Amino acid sequence: MANPNDTFTKLCDHARQTGLLTSTIGILNWDEETYLPRDGRAHRAEQTALLAGMVHQRQTAAEVGGWLAELKESPLAADPHSTEGCVIRQLGRQYDKKTKLPQKLVEELTRTASLAQQAWVDARKADDFTAFQPWLERTIDLKQQEAAAVGVTDVAYDALLDDYEPGESTANVAQVLSGLREQLTPLVEQIVESKHKAPREILSRSYPVDKQAEFGKQAAAAIGFDFNAGRLDVTAHPFCGGGGPRDVRLTTRYDANEFAGGFFSILHEAGHGIYEQGLPADQFGLPTGEAVSLGIHESQSRMWENLVGRSRAYWEHTLPELQGAFESARGVGLDEFYFAVNDSRPSLIRTESDEATYNLHIIVRFELEQALLSGDLPAADLPSAWNEKYQQYLGVTPPSSADGAMQDVHWSAGLYGYFPTYALGNLYAAQFFDQAEADLGDLDDHFRRGEFTPLRDWLRRNIHQHGQRYSAAELVERVTGKPLSHEPLMRRLRAKFAELYDLP
Amino acid sequence: MANPNDTFTKLCDHARQTGLLTSTIGILNWDEETYLPRDGRAHRAEQTALLAGMVHQRQTAAEVGGWLAELKESPLAADPHSTEGCVIRQLGRQYDKKTKLPQKLVEELTRTASLAQQAWVDARKADDFTAFQPWLERTIDLKQQEAAAVGVTDVAYDALLDDYEPGESTANVAQVLSGLREQLTPLVEQIVESKHKAPREILSRSYPVDKQAEFGKQAAAAIGFDFNAGRLDVTAHPFCGGGGPRDVRLTTRYDANEFAGGFFSILHEAGHGIYEQGLPADQFGLPTGEAVSLGIHESQSRMWENLVGRSRAYWEHTLPELQGAFESARGVGLDEFYFAVNDSRPSLIRTESDEATYNLHIIVRFELEQALLSGDLPAADLPSAWNEKYQQYLGVTPPSSADGAMQDVHWSAGLYGYFPTYALGNLYAAQFFDQAEADLGDLDDHFRRGEFTPLRDWLRRNIHQHGQRYSAAELVERVTGKPLSHEPLMRRLRAKFAELYDLP
């Protein structure tokens, strides 16, 4: 019998090399979105497909299975939160999931996702849901097969959610989100009825792009993103990517006549980036050096974007700097500016929605995709079901499927179970933020003085440094002493918007 | 017995996949020089080392050896210039060379190159040749071992030259370069004695960097570099790299108070890039889709930089555009500007030298590195031998080893046999250019009208599209009907500089 320590070393070396390939794909993807010449795309697709294939082969290699089988029975696996326990558990999960999926199904999922996305682009442009419907049906069928293949026969959605929010259950998410929805819908109704309107025009003045880039970079650095280990570039859609623990790449987009889009995307992506930079670099390639879940990742971006960046205290510190950089912002009062960046109104498009309404957009999708997967909702009925829920939760009805059920890429790309992680991010963020305030004192006092390091370091200590030692649910309990709840977020939203909109 | 066509398909598929990895390394290297955050370097080194190791493993895999052994005896290998013949011959060469080198020697060469380069940086800074000498000795010893390992026992230099200029012999290069030297040294003496001096000051005025970048990009596009399949960025040292046939990346550097450095680097690198873009994309990863040799590659860069970009006709067309872009160039006459960009004077530093003196810098190195490798020149005597040759060929004596024998990175990096390819590039360029004029008519007439496409397309047809079907020597004979000679270059240099410096 091999010494389990030797086997563990082999497993880790193997995973680290796989991580080098994964992070190389990260650079290729970033490059594709930023600087790749137009005609280089076909070749790039071949490069990434080859590397992705190598990564998959390595992750499902028989020798990995052998090492894991041996290690699971060894004393190294005893403590699930130790380095060894975490690595064995998480690589074991990955190996089991990936080896359970038949190669043929994986290829069919990839192929269909590619074709369905193209069909979605065309159908959306033509506002023709019936052209997209067969692709939606095919994708749902494949995702049901995927859930069955990994052994989930009860609630298919559980298997898919697990890819993004490992260990979380559909039932639990449903319970928390319906608690949120019950309180959020009346709040949004009150906002709609308020006579007060945010002076949004302030943000639509002239904001030269080069100054936005400079100002945004300073803002990201101020909240603790390390530009010696990262960058900021321009892409069509903002993201946080890159190629390794000390090479984190943010992107945003600028509009010379709109300040908020580019700026808050930077804070958002910087939040993701600070998490990546806070993961222990010596654990690179191992689960102990990787983010817990999409929801936890989103909690970091949302915290910096909304709980910090859309707070009054943040702008108390930052508005004078903004006014130094942009003529358009001069003469604007703090109250006005704070209200402008917190303008709330029910809208049709998720990606353009505000802090208060955003979660309702998510809840619509979360409820509908469960129904699509369980078979309760036939694909043909999706547009009407979508419109009904939008009317019910947000009080608006999309005039078209293009701006309704077809507005997001996710369902054509096979990303089912992904949407709720956005709302979970908001919920985790508020719950963590409450605890940070309890530990650090009034955070507004920090922000007013431009001090963001204490919060960043609190996040490092309590969240980032652990990698995947704890599941999202365990982490929330461990850090805040309570299970996930809608209350911290709801309390914050009510307080903020009641003040801004002078609600009863 | 397998069908050789099936075996050939396997060999090609294997090589194409290896090419995807090689071109991925190309992107990682480009990124490292352009946009990689400072703290990402260590991780990047691990990524590239892993991929380079994979490439080496694939190129020396036993199955490749088996396929090649079978194919060499098959009818597919009969015509060495057919697609199949070229692929089998060249992959066979590569396989033989790489499998002959013991793994231990390869590792020692890599390790020593890394350490010796660091030692060279330090020794050069301190102008302390004796600190560098042991590393030079160690490197020479390893390169001698390398030559012996690949079976070259007579002239070690032949084996090393063969890495960069496959099929070329030391004796032949020595003959051509000494012919050049015998006529070039007196020409340079005449230039030195001339009363005429180039108005170099014109180029040292204010040339704003952003305008240089824009102007340089236009110039590269004008000579036929395709920006849909390429880019131009800024690095400390200009290069042409990238990641595939439709993804060619040029770099340069700018100095706001010096025009020529940045601009001619762009033309030079664009020349390399036009070659890369002209290789047949459907042969990617195969020898039929790769450049012939470093010398032929350099012929393309030198042609566009010097024979086009430093011609009077080029500036007849381009000077008005330059004057539109830069105030500093307004009021400058064509004669003045043409003389300024052709300023010639013997100097100490190769990379700063001009079209006339450049080859003498190369010849010094070519002669010295042969003597170092044969053992005729002990490393300890290198600085004095260097200084003697500089005095003899260029009429200058370096005041220090830092600006003398230690000025280039090559010898510390293990790049012996590389230097002559720079001079070969100039020789090939002139010989090809003569033939292009014979075929296309007076090229100055084209350039005067801003027409560069005929020359580019001539290069495509006669050189680029063949990949490695012909060796450099074969290609020169095939295209020009004559073996390589120093005469076409010498004739051009004499004509140009006799006119500029009013020589007898």
Average pLDDT over residues A225-233: 98
Quick one: pLDDT at residue A1? 62
Q: How many CB atoms lie within 10 A of CB A161?
A: 30
| Three-class DSSP labels, B439-491 | HHCCHHHHHHCCCCHHHHHHHHHHCHHHCCCCCHHHHHHHHHCCCCCCHHHHH
A228 at interface of B, judged by CB pairs closer than 8 A? yes
Q: Which of the listed residues B54, B79, B100 is the one where a domain comes to its end?
A: B100
Domain membership flag for residue B60: yes
- Is B377 in contact with B371 (CB distance < 8 Å)? yes
What is the number of structural domains in chain B?
2
Average pLDDT over residues B196-220: 97
Q: What is the pLDDT of residues A148-184, one digit of tens each?
A: 999 887 899 999 999 999 999 999 999 999 999 999 9
Of B324, B323, B349, B348, give the one whose Cα is nearest residue B334: B323
Q: How far is B240 from chain A (nearest CA, A)?
A: 14
Which strands, in side-by-side order, build the sheet including B240-242?
A: B230-234, B248-252, B240-242
Measured between CB atoms, which of A23, A28, A227 is closest to B24? Answer: A28
Percentage above 70 pLDDT, chain B: 100
């020789």: which residue's tokens?
A: B427
- Same domain for A96 and A208: no
Quick one: pLDDT at residue B1? 61
Please judge whether B24 and A21 are an interchain contact, meaning their C-beta atoms are less than 8 angstroms apart: no
Rounded distance between C-alpha atoms, residue A90 and residue A395, angstroms: 43
Quick one: pLDDT at residue B2? 77
Residues of A in contact with B278 (CB under 8 A): none
Q: How far is B273 from chain A (nearest CA, A)?
A: 13
ipTM of the modeled complex: 0.94
Rounded distance between C-alpha atoms, residue B34 and residue B231, angstroms: 12
B243 at interface of A, judged by CB pairs closer than 8 A? yes
Q: How far is CA A429 from the centre of its chain?
A: 12
Rounded distance between C-alpha atoms, residue B376 and residue A395, angstroms: 90
Helix (H, G, I), strand (E, B) or coil at B49: helix
Q: How far is CA A174 from the centre of its chain?
A: 18
Q: Apex CA B81: angle with CA B75 and CA B82, to 5°?
A: 55
Rounded distance between C-alpha atoms, residue B65 and residue B77, angstroms: 15
Q: What is the DSSP letter of B233?
A: E
What is the number of alpha carbons within 13 Å of residue B39 lying toward its C-beta?
A: 15
- Same domain for B206 and B96: no
Average pLDDT over residues B169-190: 97
Q: How far is A21 from chain B (nearest CA, A)?
A: 7
Q: Which burial class, exposed, middle or buried, applies to A137 when counting CB atoms under 10 A from its CB (0-12, 13-18, 19+)?
A: middle
Q: List the single residue in B with minimal CA-CA distance to A22.
A: B47
The letter for the amino acid at B67 is W
- Same domain for A298 and A435: yes
Please judge whether B229 and A23 are an interchain contact, meaning their C-beta atoms are less than 8 angstroms apart: no
CA-based radius of gyration for chain A: 23
Residues of B in contact with A226 (CB under 8 A): 39
Which distant-in-sequence residues (6+ apart) come within 8 Å of B43 by Cβ?
Answer: A23, A243, A244, A245, A246, A247, A284
What CATH number corresponds to the domain at position A469? 1.10.1370.30
Domain membership flag for residue A414: no
Measured between CB atoms, which of A38, A43, A231 is closest to B37? Answer: A231
- Same domain for A158 and A101: yes
The answer to the question of whether B268 is labelled as a binding residue is: yes
CA-based radius of gyration for chain B: 23
Give yes or no for residue A102 having a pLDDT over 70.
Answer: yes
Quick one: pLDDT at residue B63? 97
Please judge whether A17 and B50 are an interchain contact, meaning their C-beta atoms are less than 8 angstroms apart: yes
Residues of B in contact with A221 (CB under 8 A): none
Q: What is the pLDDT of residues B383-410, one digit of tens each?
A: 999 999 999 999 999 999 999 999 999 9
Average pLDDT over residues B124-132: 97
Domain membership flag for residue B164: no
Q: What is the largest distance, in Å, between two alpha-carbon atoms of chain B?
A: 76
Q: Any idea of the CA torsion for B359, B360, B366, B369, to the nearest 10 degrees?
A: -140
Q: What is the pLDDT of residues A390-403, one digit of tens each?
A: 999 999 999 999 99
- Same domain for A495 and A426: yes
Q: Which of the listed residues B69, B100, B131 is the one where a domain comes to its end?
A: B100
Give yes or no for residue B84 having a pLDDT over 80.
Answer: yes
The secondary structure of B145-208 as a DSSP string is: HHHHHTT--S-HHHHHHHHHSTT--HHHHHHHHHHHHHHHHHHHHHHHH-S----GGGGGS---
| φ/ψ (deg, to 5) at A79 | -95, 110
Residues 268-297 of A with CB under 8 A from B: 284
Please judge whether B47 and A229 are an interchain contact, meaning their C-beta atoms are less than 8 angstroms apart: no
Quick one: pLDDT at residue B71? 97
Domain membership flag for residue B445: yes
Which distant-in-sequence residues (6+ apart) come within 8 Å of B350 by Cβ?
Answer: B358, B361, B362, B365, B407, B408
Q: What is the pLDDT of residues A343-366, one digit of tens each?
A: 999 999 999 999 999 999 999 999
- Same domain for A395 and A442: no
Domain membership flag for residue A413: no
Domain membership flag for residue B492: yes
Domain membership flag for residue A412: no
Of A353, A357, A384, give the one whose Cα is nearest residue A371: A384
Give yes or no for residue A131 having a pLDDT over 90.
Answer: yes
pLDDT band at B284 (very low <50, low <70, confident <90, very high): very high
The secondary structure of A262-317 as a DSSP string is: HHHHHHHHHHHHHHHHHS-GGGTTSGGGS-S-HHHHHHHHHIIIIIITTSHHHHHH
Give yes or no for residue A372 having a pLDDT over 90.
Answer: yes
Q: How far is B52 from chain A (nearest CA, A)?
A: 12
Q: List the single residue in B with minimal CA-CA distance to A231.
A: B37
Q: Apex CA A365: angle with CA A361 and CA A371, to 5°?
A: 150
| φ/ψ (deg, to 5) at B418 | -85, -40
pLDDT band at B453 (very low <50, low <70, confident <90, very high): very high
- Same domain for A381 and A341: no
- Same domain for A392 and A338: no
Rounded distance between C-alpha atoms, residue A329 and residue B121, angstroms: 50
Q: How many CB atoms lie within 10 A of CB B453?
A: 13
Q: Which of the listed residues B80, B100, B120 is the one where a domain comes to its end?
A: B100
Residues in chain B: 504
- Same domain for B429 and B306: yes
B247 at interface of A, judged by CB pairs closer than 8 A? yes
pLDDT band at B156 (very low <50, low <70, confident <90, very high): very high
Of B84, B269, B305, B369, which one is the catalytic site residue? Answer: B269
| Three-class DSSP labels, A114-178 | HHHHHHHHHHHHCCCHHHHHHHHHHHHHHHHHHHHHCCCCCCHHHHHHHHHCCCCCHHHHHHHHH
Across the A/B interface, how many CB contacts are shorter than 8 Å?
Answer: 100
Residue A87 to residues A79, A200, A469, Cα–Cα distance (Å):
11, 49, 8
| φ/ψ (deg, to 5) at B162 | -60, -25
Residues of B in contact with A233 (CB under 8 A): 35
Quick one: pLDDT at residue B325? 98
Q: What is the pLDDT of residues B290-322, one digit of tens each?
A: 999 999 999 999 999 999 999 999 999 999 999
- Same domain for B427 and B315: yes
Measured between CB atoms, which of B17, B44, B230 is closest to A50? Answer: B17
A36 at interface of B, judged by CB pairs closer than 8 A? yes
Q: List the single residue in A with minimal CA-CA distance to B26.
A: A28
Please judge whether B28 and A31 are an interchain contact, meaning their C-beta atoms are less than 8 angstroms apart: no
Rounded distance between C-alpha atoms, residue A303 and residue A177, angstroms: 18
Q: What is the largest distance, in Å, between two alpha-carbon atoms of chain A?
A: 76
B39 at interface of A, judged by CB pairs closer than 8 A? yes
Q: What is the DSSP letter of B75?
A: G
Q: How far is B348 from chain A (nearest CA, A)?
A: 37
Which distant-in-sequence residues (6+ apart) come within 8 Å of B430 by Cβ?
Answer: B307, B488, B489, B491, B492
B44 at interface of A, judged by CB pairs closer than 8 A? yes
A396 at interface of B, judged by CB pairs closer than 8 A? no
- Is A328 in contact with A186 (CB distance < 8 Å)? no
- Same domain for A355 and A476: no
A221 at interface of B, judged by CB pairs closer than 8 A? no
Of A84, A165, A269, A367, which one is the catalytic site residue? Answer: A269
Measured between CB atoms, which of B17, B23, B40 is closest to A244? Answer: B40
B228 at interface of A, judged by CB pairs closer than 8 A? yes
Q: List the single residue in B with minimal CA-CA distance to A14.
A: B50
B149 at interface of A, judged by CB pairs closer than 8 A? no
Domain membership flag for residue B475: yes
- Same domain for A461 and A334: yes
Average pLDDT, chain B: 96
Q: Is B269 a catalytic residue?
A: yes
Rounded distance between C-alpha atoms, residue B38 and residue A247, angstroms: 8
Residues in chain A: 504
Q: Which residues share a beta bridge with A251?
A: A233
Residue B45, domain extent: 1-100
Residues of A in contact with B231 (CB under 8 A): 35, 37
- Among A17, A23, A44, the strongest candidate for a mutation testing the B interface, having the largest count of B CBs within 10 A, is A44
A226 at interface of B, judged by CB pairs closer than 8 A? yes
Q: How far is A169 from chain B (nearest CA, A)?
A: 36
Quick one: pLDDT at residue B251? 97
- Is B196 in contact with B343 (CB distance < 8 Å)? no
Q: What is the pLDDT of residues B158-174, one digit of tens each?
A: 999 999 999 999 999 99
| φ/ψ (deg, to 5) at A250 | -95, 150
Residues 401-440 of B with CB under 8 A from A: none
Q: List the single residue in A with minimal CA-CA distance to B14.
A: A50
Which strands, in side-by-side order, build the sheet including A248-252?
A: A230-234, A248-252, A240-242
